Amino acid sequence: MDKAKIVLAAVAVVAGLYGFYHFDQSPAVVRVVCVLAGVIVAVGAMWTTVQGTRFRAFALQSVEETKKVVWPTRKETLQTTGIVFAFCVVSAIFLWIVDASLLYLVQLLMGRTE
């Protein structure tokens, strides 16, 4: 039975896309409604399958886990962001120095130094 629901979901999405392109002379709202209807039917069909049930259980467990997370304070977030920006600036300066050195070295080897 699950395979039939999965096929129904795929057919619904394809039908929605077909409607989108079939009604190319219609207003955009009609075309978008076709796609949305296909997606809604597909989600409804997939929701009742074993995979849909597993996904729902996983999503609920994920929400419960995010409630257990200890989020950083504003001060910790700003400090971490500052460290990341400082590291980016230092890395950029280092790479600029390496690039300029290599450019000078190549020009020296080619005899084009000024």
d(CA 77, CA 71): 9
Per-residue model confidence (pLDDT) at position 24: 86
- The helix/strand/coil state of 69 is coil
**What angle do helix axes 50-68 and 2-22 make, rounded to 10 degrees?**
90
Q: Residue 48 pLDDT more than 90?
A: no
In the chain, where the domains are located: 1-69, 70-114
Across all residues in the chain, what is the average pLDDT? 92
What's the pLDDT tens digit per position in 89-99? 999 999 999 99
**Are residues 29 and 3 in contact, defined by beta-carbon separation less than 8 angstroms?**
no
What's the pLDDT tens digit per position in 8-42? 889 999 999 999 999 889 899 999 999 999 999 99
